[in-house]
A = this chain, B = another copy of it.
């Protein structure tokens, strides 16, 4: 089914159209992102408007699993919600860095854990309306605390292991509430079900 709405200037097939970017103005340069204003024009309606966007490097989050099947989680203070938050390790990717390498770097820097194997789980848009970047998710298997911590200037982290079942229960109860962490758990879920089925068989 497709509905075209009431505006006769839409695409005749009822599809929304991509807008044209006329200009972009830097409002504020921040450590993690540039805050910009984009002047955009609708190609058929001709209407123009300014939209605010955060331009950011890509992010990476890592799901680290121990040989016993536990998840390595970190708790840290978050300045948006002004509260502590249970999350998986992650951070901003360096320029030119590959997602898996970036994820394993963040994992070791934040927790000291290092995996025996790892792979990309997938990637998503953190917020396609106001952010231009992607967040990648890395599965890190058979992790052990054999690396070296290297916290960023303002980082302060508590590291704790949780059984995977408990992590999914915490997520459903709202005790894990970071959108991106829940994305990692969602993308891993089919693989988690396969692993459980193998263990039972």
Contacts and interface: CB of A to CB of B under 8 A. Distances in A.
Sorting the interface of chain A by its residue count into under 10, 10 to 19, 20 to 34 or 35 or more gives 35 or more
Interface of A: 1-3, 5-7, 10, 14-19, 21, 27-28, 30-33, 35, 38, 40, 42, 47, 49, 51-54, 75-85, 111-112, 122-132, 135, 149, 151, 153-154, 156-161, 171-172, 174, 177-180, 182-183, 185-187, 189-190
Count of this chain's copies in the oligomeric assembly: 2
Given A16-B76, A80-B53, A161 B1 contact: yes
B187 A17 contact: no
A25 to B, nearest CB: 11
A179 B2 contact: no
29 contacts: A3-B111, A5-B151, A10-B156, A16-B84, A17-B77, A18-B77, A32-B52, A33-B52, A40-B79, A42-B154, A47-B154, A49-B153, A53-B79, A54-B130, A79-B129, A79-B130, A83-B128, A122-B172, A123-B174, A125-B177, A125-B178, A126-B127, A126-B179, A127-B127, A127-B180, A135-B179, A171-B186, A172-B190, A182-B182
